[in-house]
Amino acid sequence: MADVVTIGECMGVFFPPDPVTLDDTNKLLFDVGGAEANISIALCRLGVSARFISRVGDDPFGRRIRQVLEQEGVDTSALATDLEAPTGIFFREWLPDFARRVYYYRKGSAASRMSPEYLSRTLFEGARIVHLTGITPALSPTCAAAVTRAVELAEEVGALISFDPNYRARLWSPEQARATLLPIMKRAHVLLMGHEDAQAVFGVSDEDEILAAAVALGAQAVVLKRAERGAIGVEGNVRIEAPAHPAAHAIDPIGAGDGFDAGFLAGRLRGYDLAASLDLGARVGAACVEVLGDYNGYPRL
């Protein structure tokens, strides 16, 4: 049994050891990364049990993913090994100006072959939160169906549904994302959104308009993440503009949004109010940017 259950793709990731472009390096570090896996790791470091549902290939990347997740205490009982499809990989840069270039090689990956048939009620029983993102349904039609099934199972077991749109332009257009994600978002109890993601889904850029559109969907709590400008949280008649937590030395922004999500959800599970949950999310996100790697900077609080 896990407090939080999530479903998504974890990949092998390669990046230079120094803040240079991929064109200008002859060395690469190897680790793992992916929104839902990052969140699972961050939650476990915060003392929240998490189950990660996915598929990996029978290859070094899949074995490394399983090893890292298990070392971090993540429940991998629903992490299947696909003998016919590979684990997805990607390459990325981390640059002093925080500009990001990412190259994905995930088409036909093991994770993209997930489908509703792989999900059972027992995987969700006892969960207090089921956290989903907009990345998974963009991978394939069967993944989209699996996410919808995860929503149904979350409702069956009485878990809160948390959702982050996490829009990825390389996977689909805003119109495609909107058609698939809005029906899911209408069933979510908690919406955690980055500004660019929310803009793609709602088609507006003004923060007040974004928040109004999100609240209108019916979520109990809505959060708009604004990176170094902090976050805005809305719950009922309460609206809070929470500042960002200061980072001693910002190095790598990858994984900060996932860390914020994990901190916010951990706060809710601890019984924190909106302000305290936003603060914990900000603290985890800030710690992430101080360390190179998708999840390495997540603290234990």
* Active site residues per annotation: 258
Return the CA Rg of the chain: 18
Element (H, E) at 242: strand 238-242
End-to-end alpha carbon distance in the chain: 22
For residues 231 and 244, give the distance between their C-alpha atoms in angstroms, rounded to a whole number: 7
For residues 54 and 171, give the distance between their C-alpha atoms in angstroms, rounded to a whole number: 18
For residues 13 and 91, give the distance between their C-alpha atoms in angstroms, rounded to a whole number: 6
Scanning the structure block, which residue is given the tokens 């684990």? 87
Residues 6+ apart with CB under 8 A from 124: 5, 130, 150, 153, 154, 156, 157, 159
Contact 50, 75 (CB under 8 A): yes
Contact 139, 170 (CB under 8 A): no
For residues 211 and 192, give the distance between their C-alpha atoms in angstroms, rounded to a whole number: 11
Residues in the chain: 301
